[in-house]
Structure 1
């Protein structure tokens, strides 16, 4: 039984494999939860993992009616348990991001005239022009992605506008494919919803608007202006703005509950429906991140959620509108080589024992004596690369490390990459920054200690499960409290607090200072500081001609001068030199043009020593580019600018003189 009646908000999650619901009381504690698992509870739809994988191996869809029937089942389960629907003040929810639903002409009439005598799925079965919805796992729209990027002037131009380069799973590209391959079905479509706004529409009994945050995952929304990009809409399909409707703030109350639920289940007719959003934005709300905070999910894939004030969209990662603060943003970064990579190194170097793995971390010093490794046994997402790459204290690439060094190199390398990529999107560690760790590896204190040291911030852990559901319930309370007019943090201040797990080791901050070009110095974490704001001018690259040097590991994907078939061990980066942001564009495989105002130089890479030769007019005294002798691959690349500034003008340095920003 559901227990005694209590005022509450519901949080829903229409995820890939199930529909889940939680009820959260006024004390912000969860007192009811339930779920319907698609494969187990709805076997008639024949899904595996909640989806249909088509013969081409690229197309992945889910039956829309399966989601509708799952809602029927879970509501009937709640009713049978004695749940008092009349006590629900408001509800909100989340949906798997990027998936889309296509309502057939006339579907709006069916929604507004639902009979309380019949379940939803029996009344809506003829309401969809596409019966199987494309979902986030789909990767069949490469042609549409390239077309959109070309139309918008390149991948970086699209990213600057919409928060991401074109991705196959993003909704705009999926819509373009449906228009091109199924024009009749597209013409019969009167409304296109995301999974989130589709679910909200079921509760409203009318079409719900797409919210800003989930709308950011479509390659269609201008994230700064919070309006649809007319150019992107036109590039994908005709009449698309009309079919999508107007986007709304994520904290908006989009209406009251449909009379269908009042009559069939006993909902209060004043129950408010707050705009549904994507599962990742809802998770940010569930973990109650604030400005400067990071959430790190250490699972099969590692995922970073970041709260940003001033984002820097790049070719990797995603920038979304913030689901709880319309003036700010969130970033999402996904790393495929997560727990499976850690388990593989555990098996190889710690006799399959997490205890031995932790012992190795405790036995090695912070910074690993200058030894650094990056491990990608499967093709990585951020960046696209595969293989294991190890560098010793002399910055020479080596084939192997001692076992204890290997373990620390893996963990430090994983977290350094996360920090570098986060800073590439505009993230900055702040004095109040805290890291919230979830997932399997968050139970290992020694792994968390490395995380704290690399980010120089305390790490907390939480017992909150179903963060998207809980975040949706929190957002429902926020919507009731007048949404954006009331800080989200004030609404959820009584929620259960995360527990402090570890704090940074004394001295970690010193290891994050800019290196001064000494490859032998114990400055292993200086790489994680490459994009710390050295009084950036705030200039933005001018796409498509100019591309900022966003940090990405082993980023050059073509052989240099045709000398090698492997990916070059180089580290393109955004150069900050005492307040000057350099932007660049790739000239060809061996040169990068770095320019800002009157300062231009050409970096040429030759042979194995990474010799850098300045070109006109960069050979003047205004700049100096060099590489230390004896380095391997591209070696260390540093940029110095003159005249020499004081220490005050470079906040990441404690010494006066030119600041060397090091790559490897």
Structure 2
């Protein structure tokens, strides 16, 4: 364990370049948070005229992008903020970061020279203004590449085959379909592009003053990588655009070192010239690290604007619904993730309609109604849903003669509305029964513990429902910014691996430390009884049957 000690008096810096802001978190050698900072794009960089950090194209349905230079300027700004906080940059031995997944950046021919020769006396944003063949980066919210998704799936042998190869079926937000769309619609732009980065590798490139590799975990969110071999998938590349592999560069493990910090940052902010830049990765992989999830049986549920479920498995199952990435904190296993578009905004909508716009009333209704809701099942989609692929709408069913003990011969009838308490329970049970069903289908093992994060994790009634449905204890964390925290942890982990000269399990850093730091979790809800868990399993199977019928009838694909 001696090799797992971090150097005393050293610091580790983690960034998170998210949709609406850039965050920074600094950890010391005991994994305690030293300081943190944030730059909000809309309010603090108003000259880019973004709303929620993005542009929504009024002329092209579903096209949503962000100005690439905004991220460049935000990096300089947040480092200046840390200077004002009197952070000693000379003590930082490693830096890493988190980038919003799926966003892509297009470097113009000849831009490597600009990146390599940045002048520390001038801001980066003033030197890279003409470095990009497209000045606006497609991001995860974009849904304008449906046709390209269909073309790529057809070229590789179908959606399930693409999922088997790359970890996911084609998704509009993924970089592969976005690249194909640019190649088809703007061929002159594609020809003028010498390098394509993800947001994560783009930010790492700024820090090392050269083109950084795409890390294997974030690279899996492109529909372009063979997840088993951890190499670019030739058939997917060919189905996307010609000459693509050269433009993407090489892949690297998430714990690898991208390079030393560039002279620009040494001279401008007084970093130590030997400071390592560990590969950046996506925001969800970094959140997994920030929540200290590193073994099968740990499951994270993030309850935000969108809900996400992620954990680690050794045996992922190819499917049309989940996402599989190489494990970001180990050399073995996979990270499996589910994404639901209808999260907190849908919960708020049901609260407003049926619980007097009060979370207190909402929680009371949830406590007053019995588990299983008397066989009342609801599907609540304020926005078109990703999982399952269904349009906005409400669908309510009552199971006739449901006792929770048997499904054979059980029938359902659709109704227009429930009483308000039943609406609340149908929504909550429906959301988490869906998570349990699809997690099992994607090969996630039954959870031994669940870590809940996001705004709704403060609601104890919701946490109790999660514990009853999954049959395990639910924990919560004190830190909301798990992505930048995870990036700082990964910086420390990358430093350890580099120092030792071989891979070191990230768990060795946590020995005797977690309970003494702000990384620790607290028990918030205890597991439900096994009989109730079994009954929820039967209700879940019936819900899946109804869901499959809805997809066949109304599905978008």
Residue 419 of structure 2 is aligned to residue 410 of structure 1: no
**Does 2:348 match 1:343?**
yes
Counterpart selection for 1:461 from 444, 466, 476? 476
Q: What runs of 5+ residues in structure 2 fail to find an aligned partner?
A: 1-7, 402-410
Q: Which residues in structure 2 correspond to 1:622-633 (within 5 Å)? A: none
Question: Does the CA contact (< 8 Å) of 1:420 and 1:551 recur in 2?
Answer: no
The equivalent of 1:390 in structure 2 is: 397
Q: C-alpha deviations, 1:149-194, integer Å up to 9, x for none?
A: 1101111111111111111111011111111222222122111111
Query: Could you tell me the TM-score, scaled by structure 2's length?
Result: 0.90
Whether 2:430 is the aligned partner of 1:438: answer no
CA distance, structure 1, for counterparts of residue 509 and residue 540 of structure 2: 34
Structure 1 contact 420–530 (Cα < 8 Å) conserved:
no
Distance in 2, Cα, partners of 1:387 & 1:371: 13
Please point out which of 508, 514, 528 is paired with 1:490.
Answer: 508
Mapping 1:563-582, distance limit 5 Å: none
Deviations 1:594-641 (A, max 9, x none): xxxxxxxxxxxxxxxxxxxxxxxxxxxxxxxxxxxxxxxxxxxxxxxx
CA gap of 1:552–1:298, structure 2 versus 1, over 3 A, is farther
2:40 counterpart of 1:28: no
Q: How do 1:444-593 residues align onto structure 2 when only pairs under 5 Å count?
A: 444-482=459-497, 485-493=503-511, 494-495=513-514, 496-505=519-528, 507=529, 509-513=530-534, 523-528=535-540, 553-555=547-549, 557-558=551-552
- Which structure dedicates a bigger proportion of its chain to helix? 2
Q: How far apart are 1:529 and its partner, in Å?
A: 6.9
Query: What CA distance in whole angstroms lies between the structure 1 residues aligned with 2:441 and 2:28?
Result: 39
Instruction: Output the CA distance in 1 between the equivalents of 2:102 and 2:35.
Output: 28
Deviation at 1:453? 0.8
Q: How does 1:150-229 map to 2 (within 5 A)?
A: 150-229=154-233
Taking the aligned partners of 1:457 and 1:99, their CA distance within structure 2 comes to 35
Structure 1's unaligned 5+ residue stretches are 514-522, 532-549, 560-565, 568-664
Q: Does 1:112 align with 2:96?
A: no
CA contact under 8 A between 2:469 and 2:536: conserved in structure 1?
A: no
Matched, 1:52 2:55: yes
Q: Secondary structure at the match of 2:37?
A: strand
Q: By how many angstroms is 1:555 displaced?
A: 4.2
**Cα deviation digits, residues 302-324 of structure 1 (max 9, x gap):** 21122222111211121111211
Partner of 1:358: 363
Higher relative contact order (CA 8 A, sep 6+): 2
Shift of 1:196: 0.4
Residue 295 of structure 1 is matched in structure 2 by: 300
Question: Deviation per CA, 1:377-420, whole angstroms, max 9, x where unpaired?
Answer: 43222112232222234342242434333332222121111100
Quick check: 2:468–2:533 contact (8 Å CA) kept in 1? no
Q: CA deviation at 1:242?
A: 0.9
Kept in 2: contact 1:420–1:527 (CA 8 A): no
Instruction: Using the TM superposition, name which of 357-366 and 457-466 deviates more.
Output: 357-366
Q: Deviations along 1:181-211, whole A, 9 cap, x unmatched? A: 2222212211111110010011101110000
Residue 13 (structure 1) aligned to one of 1, 12, 16: 16
Change (3 A) 1:421 1:177: same
Q: Following TM superposition, by how much is the alpha carbon of 1:440 offset from its aligned partner in structure 2, in angstroms?
A: 2.2
TM-score (norm 1): 0.76
3-state DSSP of counterpart to 1:179? helix
Instruction: Answer yes or no: is the 8 Å Cα contact 1:302–1:334 preserved in 2.
Output: yes
1:380 aligns to 2:396 (yes or no): no
1:65 to 69, 83, 90: 69
**For 1:402 and 1:140, how far apart are their aligned partners in 2?**
39
1:545 is matched with which residue? none
- Equivalent pair of 1:213/1:320 in contact (CA under 8 Å): yes
RMSD (CA atoms): 2.2
Structure-2 residue corresponding to 1:43: 46
Change (3 A) 1:310 1:551: farther
SS in 2 for 1:224: coil
Separation in structure 1 between the aligned mates of residue 231 and residue 373 of structure 2, nearest angstrom: 48
Q: Is 2:252 the partner of 1:248?
A: yes
Q: Which residue of 2 aligns with 1:637?
A: none
Q: How many residues align?
A: 526
